[in-house]
Structure formats: C-alpha cells, structure tokens
Structure 1
Amino acid sequence: MIGNPKVSVIIPVYNTELYLPKCLDSVINQTLNEIEIIAINDGSTDNSLKILNEYKNKDFRITILEQTNGGAGKARNFGIQNAKGDYLYFLDSDDYLEPNFLHDMYNKIVEENSDICICKYNEVRKDNNAINQKDTSLLVNLLPTKHFNYKNITNNLFQFCSISVWTKLYKRDFVLENKVYFQEQKTVNDVYFNYATLILAKSITYLDQAMVNYRIDVKNSLTSQRGKTLNDIISAYTQIRTLLEKNNLLNDLQESMYRKMISSIKYEMSYKKANKRTLYKQMAGFIPKKYVKKYYKEKTLLQQIFSIKNEDKHKVLTILGIRIKFTPKNHIKNYRTYSDLSNIIKDYVQKNPFNEIDLIVGIPRSGMIPAYMMAAFLNKKVCSLQEFKNGLYSSNGVRSIPTKGQIKNILIVDDSILSGHAINEVKNVLSSEEYSRFNFKYLTVFATEKSKNKVDYYMQICQAPRLFQWNYLNHKIATASCYDMDGVLCVDPTSEENDDGEKYRKFCLTAKPLFIPSYCIKAIVTSRLEKFRKETEQWLKDNNVKYEKLYMLDVKTAEERRKLGLHAKYKAEIYKKLKQCKLFVESEPRQAKEIFKLTGKPCVCVATDEYYSNELEK
C-alpha cells in the first residue's frame, strides 16, 4: 500500500472463533481497498488467534496486536495508538459488514468534510441468521440537515442514534486532537467515547442505510453482567458530565443526558440480578431530583403484585412473583422484510444453483419479487406467468432473446405457500397439452410444515400467522387491523395545510390517496380531530375505502392535542379496547413504537416498514 490507508479498521478479538471468519471476510472484501486492519487479540483462550494468523497470511493489510485480557475499551485504545489511517472504524469481532460499507461511509464523510459519519444497523439472530433492520438505531426524522452538530440537536443528542461505535466512522485527527479515548472498564466502555465525540464534533453526517450486521444474541460476556453494571454507567456519565462542564455545555445538554442515563438504569433494573433498591439510590444520588421525577416512574403496589408484559415470543403474567408464560392466539408469529427475502434467497441459491433451469417464471404479484431476485443472483432468464403464456421471455445481459425451442426446464416461483390454492391454479393451467413439452418445477421461499410437500422446493419454514413487508398494506389482515389515516391511507398534510382550520379542512377533502387496501379495514383510528369527521368520511367514500368504524379524537384544537400528547396514547387506547384487532398500521415511527409499548400488541410503521412485536418466531 502506497501512503497512509484511508481507513483503519480496529477489531478487538476475544474468544469469537465461531464468528471471526465471517467478520474478517466482510472486511477484507470491502469495495474500499485502501484500508488497514488492526486486530487486537485480547487474551483469547480459543482458536481466535490461530484464525487471525491464517487471515494475516492471506492479506498483507492485517496487523495483529496482542494484550493480556483487558476488555474491548483497552483493545480499541491500543488500536488507535497504532492506527495510520485518515479515518478510524471500530468493529466487534462477532459482527460483519455489508460490502460497500467503508466505501460509502468514507465517501460521505469526505464529501461533507465531517468528523463523524453514522449509519443504521441490522440485527442478526444466531439461530437462523434472520436479519431485521434496526431503524431506531438512527432516528433520521430528528436530524435537521445532512450535516449538523450538537447545537442543532440539543434536546435529543443522547437519543438520536445508538451508543454503538461500530455504526460510526471517525476522522482520526479529530479523535487525536481532542484526546478522546475509550474507558478501560469491564462494561459500557464505549459510552463515553460515543457521546464525547458527538459533543465535540464540529460536523456530523449520516447515511440512512443499514450496513452493519450486529449479532444480538451472542454477547454472552456482557449479557451476564446485566443488572450489575451501574457503577460503570455512572463512571461513564460522570466523565461525560465533566466534559460538558469543561465546555460550558451542561445547561444545554444535561436533560438529554440524564434522560438517556435514566433509560439505561431502568434497563438494568429489568434484569433479575439487579438490586433495584441499590440501583435507585445510586441513580437518585447522581441525577438531579427534577429529572428523576420527570423520567423515572416507580411501580405502584398493584404493578408489583400483578403485571403482564411481552417477553421473547410470549406474554408473561406475574402474580405475587409467580410467572406464567402464554402465547396469545392469532397474533402474527412471523414478519419478513425485503432484506430477509434477499438474504434467504442468496444463501439458498448459493447451495442450489439450479444449473438445469432455463427460465424462471414468477406468479403475480408477490411471486414476481423472489423470481426476479433469483434470476439476478443466478443470471437466469425470467418473466411473469402471463409473459410465459404469451411467449415473451426477457433476455439477460447481451444474450439474445431465446426461442420457445431453447426453453425446456422451467422453475415456477411464488413468495409463499399456505393452502396451496394459488400454486394449484397455476398447475392446472400449465397441465394442458399446450405446455406438455416443458418440464415444470415449483418453488416457494416460505412454506409451513403442512404445505411444504405441495411444492418441489421451499427455502424456509415460516409458520402462520405471518406477514411480509411487500404485502402487508394490501393483505386480508386489514379485516382485523387498525389503520392510521394521514401518512397511511393518504399523504401527510404540509405544514401550511396543517393549520387546524380551513386549509386543513380542504386537505381532508382533497388529500392524495396513498395506500388503499382492497379489503375492509376493521377500524380507522386517527388523531384527526372530531370536528373534521364530515370531510374525512367524504374523502373515504370518494376514494372507495371500505371500513367498519372510524375513530377520531374528540378535543377542540390541535394545540390542545399537542399539549396533552394524545397522538399515540389515543390510538393505543382504542387499539387496546378492540380485542379482535391484531395489528395497528401507523405512519410515524415514534408513535408506532409507543403504540406497541402501551398495548403490547403488534404495530407496523409504514414510514420505515419496521414491525414491533415480541412474539416473532424468527
């Protein structure tokens, strides 16, 4: 490598032999080549060091440093001291990157001349490698511009992004000039570094993409400490508070800081090992009373005796300390995103290349998505069922369009199978004499245990009830769902239209339709005011929206609604009462999350396609 590398990738390694190869592969195969990889072996006792040496022999960009076990904070500091890159990136050794991560992050931070660039991340489950994009890891809706600093976001500096350093790229000169290092403590050793850099940065930019894959259920060493880390939390925030005082920023940022700290401590208190009384005393001794009173609410006597909450795939009823687990009937067990679909197909076709297949045919509508994904991965010809029946086959690349004589073996693809009705209809059509010269095979991406034998191939068992990102807005689940109005059925009003007067009244009558399901919606639940009911009902009629009932908020003004903070609370109250409803389709991310928290029932956000539920079987 000529000259300094563009990015130094710093990877603390401790006993991650199962995941380290994938981590290293994802780094050495980055599309940005001008990097150095500094792996710090933190006293591993498994085969991690052996794996590092094997990769070092394959790639000259890898440097291995060694230290006695001192934790990730100490290892990262060791990496900073030895880094030569213009920018620093910190990766955990059990996580892995998307191929363009460093290329895109580097170009963005250089283009905006920023000190930090931030992105979102995906959560990856250990059992089946299912991937969910974590949109709350970067709340773009809170950000004012493409580049900003603490002055633009004082109310939410500690809330707008995750504390993880592996979603951020840092300018090395910025880190060194400000002498920001990781705390060398057992847990939460990255909290100070994360917030100190956000506070001190003159310019922060971001990419609204998830490009880091974070394994959520293999952080065993850290998880085992949950409920016992308060001293480290207080140590981190003590150092942050000292930094704020030194820079005369405490008044501007303390409420955001204490709100985040209280949230972290409440999380600690949720663990069985936690001594809640001690935790509360320590918190109250560090945080001003007004913030404790505002953001921390103790359980009532009734809540201590009786509670019901979501836990993993179940609800847990606790009565006098006795825990009873149960799974609610008819709740959606599985939700799959486009990202899930792409990764499942990619993994499957790598193992099953379908060399004998001449043409892939998608069953409209949902089957077209996996059909075209498979064709792209396999470089196969693809068309819809109707195009196949009409003899219209697409070409791929520079190859000529084939004739019917060149097509023999055909793979019919759909996204899922349950009853098998759709597949059977296609089989009946293609069983005629007209198609006798073709060999047909049938594939679905998702099947159930009962339906898997109705096709020749399936990629994954996905039990019902289930929901997919690509079809939930026009799905029969609408008949058992609550739908928001603005941002779901129609576009959101502009700030000018949203005047709580005649302009908004006109908007209610003329709003552009957005997502109109063909099914009858069980309930439309909107925070629109009751005084606009006539206009709202007229719009629903004009746009052929079928629904059973329309719920609207009965307060006099929008200002009163804002002061009372009724948007999500009102929707949650109605949703909770409607026992037959098992999904809420909401337009706004924060409201979607709050509706889920207040009801314990599933909620999906149209803006992000994020599905909130603790009952998934992924």
Structure 2
Amino acid sequence: MISFVVPVYNTEPYLSNCIESIIKQNIFSYEIILVNDGSTDNSLDICNEYARKYINIYVLNQENRGPSAARNAGLMEANGEYVFFIDSDDYYIKDSLIKFECTLNKNKEVDLIFGKIMMFYDNNKEERRKIKYNNTVMINSMTGEEALNYLIKTDQVMISNYSAIIRKELLIQNNILFKENIRFAEDVDFMLRVYCASKNVLFIDEFFLMYRKNREGQLTQTVNLKKLNMAIELYDKLLKEVDSWSIKENSKEYIKRYIANLYFSSLGSLNKKDLEYYQKYDLLKEYRYLIKYTGGYKFIFNKFIYNVFGFHSCLTSMQIIKKLYFHMNIYRSEILQLLKSPKP
C-alpha cells in the first residue's frame, strides 16, 4: 500500500484538485492522510467531506504547528509500506503514478524512487522543468549515498520531500523525521538523511508532479528575515554535523558542497528595496565562510569574484546575474506565448 501524506494549511482553492489528482490515479492500493494544520479557511470542511465519501481517506486535525509537524503526524498514522508527501496546493499528473506502483511491485527491496517535477505559475500558463536530468540510467545501480554524490557532482540534485516515494520502514528504523522547529528549508535535512540511509534507489524518467509557484501565502514564496535566518542556521549546523555521519569521506564533501551552494544561491535573492535588506546582508555576511565549500560550474565565476574582490562584490555580481536571468525568462515566456498564439 502507498500512503499519501498531505499537510493542509489554508489551501481551500487548490485542495480538491490535489485530492482528486490522487483519487483519479490508476493505482491499486493506497490511502490518503489529510493533516489539517490549523487552517482558518474552509480547508478542514473539504477534508472532512472527502473522508465521508471515501473509506481510504483520513483526516487528522491539529493546531497550527507547521508543515514539518503535520508531515510527521501523517507519517506516524500511515499504514502503507511506502509514503508519498505532497503539498496541498500541488497535484499529480494524470496516470503518472502507475509507473511507481509497478516499479515497487517489481523491486521489493527498493528504499527510494524519485522522478521528474514540472513547475507551473499561478499568474500564467508557463510550465518549466524543475530539474533537467541527464545520464540518469546509472543511478538505478547505486545506493542512495552514491546517487546523491552523483547528482550533486552533476548539478542535478533536487532535495524535496515531494520528489520521491520513500519506504516507511527506512524512516522509522533510522529515526528520520522532519525537524518540527524548522519551518523553512526543512526538506534539506530530511532528504539528505533519506538518501544516505537508502540502500537501493531508482529513478523514473517521467514527470509525475505539478509544483505550484507564486501562490499567495506559499511557504517558499517570500523569504523574510526570520525564514532566511532559519535556513542559514540550518545550513551552518548541517555542514558541521555531517562529519559525524556514518558515510564515506567523499560523500561528506559532496554534501558540504551542496549545502554551501544553497547558501551561495541565497546571495542573489537580496533586494535593496526590501525593508529587511541590511539585516539580511549582515546575516549572510556573517556566514560567508560557507562560500569556500561551494562547487560546480554555476558558481565558478562568483566564487572567483569573492576570492579576489570580497563579499560585497560577490553579492553584487550574483544580483546582476539573477536580474539578467529573470529578464531572459520573461522574454522567453513572451516569445513562447507569441509562438503559441493563433495566426490571424
């Protein structure tokens, strides 16, 4: 059986679509656990209505404690051998999960199966791959630790709880839970541990999930000072903890590189129009030691700028590059829309 754990918080306009996308999948044995995390809209009513209609849909109701606590609560109640986590404003692509179920039936020992995710935006019809995977066939003969190293090395790793189906026993035996005091970037700690504990992993080279961006109130939409501080402190703590993990030395170096790259990427998000700009600047500057662990072709130029000219110049170059990338994407979207428009 597959258990779908769905943390729910004020997603009334999207919740039914999420649930229906599971119900309409062509899979044999599953349950849906809806964890209402103190919603103040009609989300709980929607959850209860589905639970009344379907015997394999269950509702857990709790005070608002954050998505990590909601996922942990759902995991503890899950009856399935395998668990999918999905946010309640996202949805599965039609008939995309049958491949996962068939793969599980053929590979009884697999711990983790991940696939491809498509992003879409509330304000337009544009869809975009979250990660462009290449040369992934070899992953199917790797352990989770080896796969993680390869994905980090080739700059195609995605550490997201919704990107994979996970054996529940793996999580319980290794005491892998979401840290409930973290409400931003909580996936990083969780999924790194999942990969390192997995003995057998598989990759399905197909899109299966539609991931919504730019929803009002979305946890990942706006990085305020509190969330940024939470994320940076997590990166700092993880980078120091990884040396004590029971993994190979080269794996530790790859994980440090990934964590440092997350920090480095956040430099480009600063905006002088932000009222919290100077506090964020000081926070990021305080942890600039992380830059020495960064790696990969995406960061070669800006790491050079940092080593030669210092932190401020590095941050400025990151912001310029991000603006260029943003405008290029706008032009790309406009061109695609023109190409799709019917000819007069």
Residue segments in structure 1 that go unaligned for 5+ positions in a row = 1-5, 316-326, 337-415, 419-444, 452-618
Q: 1:186 aligns with which of 165, 183, 186?
A: 183
Matched position secondary structure for 1:267: helix
Contact 1:230 1:268 in 2 (8 A): no
Normalising by the residue count of structure 1, what TM-score does the alignment of the two structures yield? 0.47
How much does 1:150 deviate? 4.2
Structure 2 letter corresponding to 1:56: A
Q: 1:45 aligns with which of 29, 33, 40?
A: 40
CA distance 1:283–1:156, shift in 2 (3 Å): farther
1:92-130 per-position Cα deviation (integer Å, ceiling 9, x unaligned) = 000000232332112213423310000001111112444
CA distance 1:52–1:129, shift in 2 (3 Å): farther
How much does 1:143 deviate? 5.5
CA distance 1:155–1:25, shift in 2 (3 Å): closer
Structure 2 letter corresponding to 1:50: D
Q: Which has the larger radius of gyration?
A: 1
Contact 2:18 2:90 in 1 (8 A): yes
Paired position in structure 2 for 1:280: 285
How much does 1:28 deviate? 1.2
Matched position secondary structure for 1:15: coil
Structure 1 letter corresponding to 2:203: Y
Matched position secondary structure for 1:265: helix
Matched position secondary structure for 1:222: coil
Contact 2:35 2:62 in 1 (8 A): yes
Structure 1 letter corresponding to 2:293: Y
Residue segments in structure 2 that go unaligned for 5+ positions in a row = none
Name the structure with the higher strand share: 1
1:442-491 per-position Cα deviation (integer Å, ceiling 9, x unaligned) = xxx7326xx2xxxxxxxxxxxxxxxxxxxxxxxxxxxxxxxxxxxxxxxx
How much does 1:66 deviate? 1.1
Matches within 5 A, 1:5-404: 6-112=1-107, 113-136=109-132, 139-141=133-135, 144-150=138-144, 152-153=146-147, 155-158=149-152, 159-184=155-180, 185-218=182-215, 220-226=218-224, 228-235=227-234, 238-239=237-238, 242=241, 245-249=244-248, 251-269=249-267, 270-272=269-271, 273-274=276-277, 275-284=280-289, 287=290, 290-291=292-293, 296-298=303-305, 300=309, 304=316, 307=320, 309-310=323-324, 312-313=326-327, 333-335=334-336
Contact 2:229 2:283 in 1 (8 A): no
Matched position secondary structure for 1:221: coil
How far apart are the structure 1 equivalents of 2:150 and 2:139? 14
CA distance 1:257–1:310, shift in 2 (3 Å): same
How much does 1:281 deviate? 1.9
Contact 1:122 1:134 in 2 (8 A): yes
Count of residue pairs brought into register by the alignment: 319
Matched position secondary structure for 2:150: coil
Matched position secondary structure for 2:166: strand
How far apart are the structure 1 equivalents of 2:60 and 2:196? 30
How far apart are the structure 1 equivalents of 2:34 and 2:20? 13
How much does 1:18 deviate? 1.0
Structure 2 letter corresponding to 1:81: M
Matches within 5 A, 1:463-482: none
How much does 1:239 deviate? 4.5
Structure 2 letter corresponding to 1:265: Y
Structure 1 letter corresponding to 2:143: N
1:293-324 per-position Cα deviation (integer Å, ceiling 9, x unaligned) = 99645565778499473254469xxxxxxxxx
CA distance 1:231–1:143, shift in 2 (3 Å): farther
CA RMSD of aligned residues (A): 3.1
Structure 1 letter corresponding to 2:101: Y
How far apart are the structure 1 equivalents of 2:150 and 2:236? 16
Identity %: 25
CA distance 1:48–1:298, shift in 2 (3 Å): farther
CA distance 1:22–1:248, shift in 2 (3 Å): closer
Matches within 5 A, 1:378-457: 446-447=341-342, 451=344
How far apart are the structure 1 equivalents of 2:209 and 2:148? 27
Name the structure with the higher helix share: 2
CA distance 1:168–1:248, shift in 2 (3 Å): closer
Structure 1 letter corresponding to 2:174: N
How much does 1:56 deviate? 1.5
How much does 1:13 deviate? 0.2
How far apart are the structure 2 equivalents of 1:198 and 1:124? 26
How far apart are the structure 1 equivalents of 2:218 and 2:104? 33
How far apart are the structure 1 equivalents of 2:143 and 2:69? 28
Higher RCO (CA 8 Å, separation ≥ 6 residues): 2
How much does 1:196 deviate? 0.3
Contact 2:148 2:157 in 1 (8 A): no
Matched position secondary structure for 2:324: strand
1:63-103 per-position Cα deviation (integer Å, ceiling 9, x unaligned) = 00011111111101001111110111100000000232332
How far apart are the structure 1 equivalents of 2:286 and 2:70? 33
Contact 1:116 1:204 in 2 (8 A): yes
CA distance 1:332–1:29, shift in 2 (3 Å): closer
